[in-house]
Structure 1
Amino acid sequence: MAAKRSIFEEVSEETPQERQPQAVQPGLIDRASSGARGAIRAWLMVLFAMVVAMIVVGGLTRLTDSGLSITEWAPVTGAIPPMTEESWTAEFEKYQQIPEYQLQNVGMTIEEFKTIYWWEWGHRQLGRVIGLVWAVGLGAFLLLGKVPTGWTGRLVLPGALGGVQGAVGWWMVSSGLQGEMLDVASYRLAIHLGLAFVILGLLTWYICLLGRPERDLMQARRAKEGGLFGLSTGLLHLTFLQILLGALVAGIDAGRAFPTWPLMGSSFFPPDPFTIMPVWRNFFEDAGLVQFMHRIVGYLVFALAVFTWIRARRSTHPRTRRAFDWMLVFTFGQVVIGIAAVLTQAQWHVAITHQLTAVLLWALILRARFLSGYPITSSVREGL
């Protein structure tokens, strides 16, 4: 007769020594979103750095009046610069046909032309390299099946916008090759720079998202600080407007028009701001009015940044508070550098520092906004 068994006895035929604990299986969220998140994030960081370099080189190209030195758009063959004296002479002759040379640079030597040519060629070449790094990286991740679920379209978008950016760049350059234009159209320059910041913003947001596991992001979203997220979104939009106005200032050299602060000359408002007809053109072409708009929006950005920072002090998440601390520090620094740019009549080293600080501030606002939408609690070890 079989012995009675306790209701607490194991019914498996295996002995306790034979039974092994089963490995914990990752959840469906982790498996569905698996991929080379770390490697893709590193690749996006490289692209981020290259886009920042592109913006800086573009600014230096503008400050050295080099942007119109290449008068043709040849995305493929243009990658090869002139290699002989005959080809240099041919390029110089093309440049001599445009208004910038005829009205401003008559008498320029071919050696002087080579200097501005190399600036513009370097700017375009860097754009080609960025496109290549994007295409090769994305292609490799797709072939290896390492793109996380739902990320293919996201990773295609920066490259697609980069292609549009190349076309916009030529559209901008072409505006200075005819009529009596000595520079590119300022509104086209603003669109060109604005699109660069859109691409930079996408890369920043993706880098933030890929810095944490998908399960962590889904949990963090529940703790979203809606009010702070909304304020930082408003600050982001206002800062973008300020960036566009900065491009208008650069496009018509408005930064050198009134080298005084806080007044513009002897008054708060620039004199005779609406002399160009039709009136709407003054908002793009009158140096005094364009600089005035840039100043006023700069004050508004600073005021909203301070207000947003005060609101962020109430956040219960230390990482979020620190992100907004850095945002405010760079906002204040950007205001100071902007004033210095005005007082020095936009000397190139001050102007390019002003532009680079704008890039860093843009990224810091995005990061602070991200952390208000996906806050990190004190127990979470993953960082950005």
Structure 2
Amino acid sequence: MADTGHHPPARRLTQGGGRGLPRRWGTLTLGLVLLALAPGTPPVPVDAWADEAPVGGTAAPAGTAPPAPERVQAQVEPPVDPATQVDILTQRMRGIEGKLKESAAARKSADQARMEAERRLAEGTQEAARLSAELVRLREAKADLETQLRRAQEQNADTAAQLAATAHQVRDLTTAAAAQTERGADLERQLEQHRQEQRRDEADFLGRLRAAEEAQAGLSAQLLEREGNLTRLNAELGAVKTQRDALDERLKTLSALVPTPAGGALTLEAAQARSATAAAALRNALTRAEAGGDAQLKRAVREAQQALHRAQFTAAQVAEAHSVYQVRPADTLVLIANRIYGDGARWRAIREANRHVLADPDRLTPGLTLVIP
């Protein structure tokens, strides 16, 4: 066996062909080579490794029956070079190692993808929680604004109804004054007619007095009666003028209470003066309520707040302002400007429009009604 001359292939296996293989695979390969070199041992057929993944080849179909002994014997001949078998085995081992490395790389990529998905899922969960909290806050703010809007609409409806009633009363008084004026004109025309008739009667009376003395008594009676009628008509005319003067004064008084846009003569200075008086009354009522605190004082505070609200609403109409706002506890001009305009820097405009009721712009009285320009 030492003189067969096959030692150089075995040395090439250990020096070059088996380099880089795992130790167990190198041992197995060396055993197969020695077995192939042993006398009387047939060479290992290539189909014996069909169960392993080929390197660049095609695997044997599944369910293929092993070859018959006669066919195997035919395949064994002629003998295969052991160095060729070693190269084939080395290539297959390298293919298996490459597939193992590809599997490990694929597993590592899958783990990284799973960790990235878990991270994104956690971030999405946190973002969903934050958006849910923000949605709840926005819904609460919306409900609060809807409540304020409903109250403001109710107050505006009440004030509009009062203004409509006042305007209706002014129209009625204007109609009555016009009727009285027309009545006075009618009385003046009647008086003039009676004067003309008196003059005619006097002339006729003087003529008849010279013509017949017996008709003097009747004419004197008629004259006295006409003079009585004239006196009565003069008295009625004086009463009508007095009534007309009183109606004119009443009309001026009511016109001074109605804003200019509604057809009245109320000026912005007068409206602001009324609001300033109502604000002072509210501050006095609050001072007394803080000192006493009984139900009567609290009712006085509410009445003062309502009077100020009506005065400020009228002032807002005269100034053609945007709306009015009733101060709540902990309110500031910046908060009110931010709530109404969405810009807290516009608090100065609110202060300028309410200087007549603001004793201290840094300290707002709860219940105080502000004009929103």
Please give the TM-score of this superposition, normalised by the length of structure 1: 0.24
Please give the TM-score of this superposition, normalised by the length of structure 2: 0.25
Between structure 1 and structure 2, the one with the greater Rg is 2
